[in-house]
A and B are shown apart, each in its own frame.
Chain A
C-alpha cells in the first residue's frame, strides 16, 4: 500500500494535482474502498460503507479525531471490512467541497496472523492477534483494587485504550495470558498469586519494549493451567527481553515426569543463554550463546537426536547449559521461587513438531512485528 501524499512532498502533490483531493487515477496502489484526503479536511457525512469509522485501521490514518472526524493531509480512510464508500462528503472550514465517488473495493492488507500461515501450534501467547479466527482476549488483568477484566485486541494489537481505562493511574497485573492456538494441548498462562503476577501497566502507563506492549516479569512468573503434551519433537519461539545480570529462568516446558525443554540466562556466566532438553531420545549437547540485554528472539528446535538453538535468527553452538530443575510449564521463574526473569515477554509460541522448514520465516514474521534485530 502506497499513499502518494506520504511518498511525496504535500506541496508538490498539490501542485501536481491541483485539487483538494486525489482523483482515483492519481492514487498509487489505492483501491476503491479507500479515500485519500490531500489537504486538512473535515469529514462531515459518511454514507455507505461503514459508519463506524472509529473502527478503521489506524495504520492507514495519518490523523483522526473521532468527534468531528478531522482528517489531516495524507489521511487515508479504509473501510474496516472492505465495504464500499458509496458517498463521502468532505468539507473544509464547514464548506462542502467535494463528494468522493470511489466505490467498490477490497480492504488492502487484510489481516493474516502468524498462526494462519504457520498453524498447528501446541500453544501460542502474544500481545498481538496470532490467528484470524481467534476471537478471545489477549490477557486478563488485575488492577490494584483486585478487580479483574479481560483485555482484547483492537486492530489486531492489544487494546491499550481499554486496558488503561480499566487500570487507571495504578498498576495492572497479568492474571492470564490466553492461548491463541487451537487449545488442544495446553491451557492459558495463569498466575493466581497476586505478588507473582507480572505487570502490564505501571503507574498508569502500559509497559513497553521497542514501543510495543510487553509483560514485565520482576520477581514474578507464570504457570500454565494444563500441561503441554510431551513430545520428543518440539519447536519454541520466544520474544523476550532481559535487563538483569543475575541468573534468570526464561522458560520451561514439559511434564512432571522430568521430561522438559528449558532455557535460562547466565548459568555459564553473565551474558550467556542456554537451552537444554531432556525430551530427545539420545544425548546431544546443550547449546547456547551470547545474549545482550534488551529484546531478543530466541528459537529452539529439538528432535529425537538433536537440539538446536538460535538467538535473533543466528544459530548458537556454545556448550552453555540451561538451569532448570522444575518439570512444569512456566515462563519467567522456577517453581521454587528463585532465579526470576528480570525483563519481559511479548510472545511465546510452542509447536510439538519440527519447524525447521519454517523457522526462518516464523522468525521473520515475529521480527517484522517487534523489530528486535
Chain B
C-alpha cells in the first residue's frame, strides 16, 4: 500500500493532527477526523502508518510503498 510510516505512535498522532488541522468539520458534525493511523503489528519491525489519499498527500511528506503483514486470526 502507499502511505506514511512512523516508528512511534506519537509520531503518527502528530502527523494525524497535522492533517486534521487543515480540515474544517462544521460544528455538530459526526465526522471528527479526516484520516486515521493503524499499527502494523505483524510486520518486523512493527510500525504505525497512515494510508495515502489525495488530501493527506497534500500535507504529509515522505509517502512510500510498503506491505502490511496480516495477522492469521
Binding site for B on A (CB under 8 A): 140, 142, 146-148, 175-176, 190, 192-197, 219, 247, 323-325, 336-339
Contacts and interface: CB of A to CB of B under 8 A. Distances in A.
Contacts of A193: 31-36
A195 B36 contact: yes
A325 B42 CA distance: 13
B28 to A, nearest CB: 8
B36 A196 contact: yes
Given A195-B51, A323-B73, A336-B41, A176 B30 contact: yes
Interface string B14-55: 000000000111101111111110110100000000010100
Given A197-B31, A338-B68, A338-B70, A146 B24 contact: yes
Contact of B34 (A175, A195, A338): A195
Nearest to A195: B35
Q: How large is the interface on B (under 10, 10 to 19, 20 to 34, 35 or more residues)?
A: 20 to 34
Contacts of B33: 192-194
B13 to A, nearest CB: 14
Contacts of B70: 247, 338-339
B66 to A, nearest CB: 13
Contacts of A192: 30-33
Contacts of A196: 35-36
A50 B9 CA distance: 61
A324 B72 CA distance: 9
Contacts of A336: 38-39, 41, 71
A324 B73 contact: yes
8 closest A-B pairs (Cβ-Cβ)? Answer: A325-B73, A337-B38, A175-B30, A195-B35, A192-B32, A193-B36, A194-B34, A193-B33
Contacts of B51: 195, 219, 337
Contacts of B56: 195
Contacts of A147: 26, 29
Nearest to B30: A175
B73 to A, nearest CB: 4
A167 to B, nearest CB: 15
B19 to A, nearest CB: 10
A323 B73 CA distance: 6
Contacts of B26: 146-148
B39 to A, nearest CB: 7
B38 A148 contact: no
A27 B60 CA distance: 69
18 contacts: A140-B30, A142-B29, A146-B26, A148-B26, A148-B28, A148-B30, A175-B30, A175-B31, A192-B30, A192-B33, A194-B23, A195-B51, A195-B53, A195-B56, A197-B31, A336-B38, A337-B68, A338-B70
A317 B73 CA distance: 21
Contacts of B35: 193-196
A262 B39 CA distance: 22
Nearest to A147: B26
Contacts of A247: 70
A194 B22 CA distance: 13
A146 B73 contact: no
A221 to B, nearest CB: 11
B25 to A, nearest CB: 5
Contacts of B24: 146
Nearest to A173: B31
Nearest to B25: A146
A148 B11 CA distance: 30
Contacts of B31: 142, 146, 148, 175, 192-194, 197
B67 to A, nearest CB: 11
Contacts of A219: 51
B17 to A, nearest CB: 14
A140 B53 CA distance: 23
A209 to B, nearest CB: 25
Given A193-B33, A197-B31, 10 more contacts: A140-B30, A142-B30, A146-B25, A175-B31, A176-B30, A192-B31, A194-B23, A195-B53, A323-B73, A338-B68
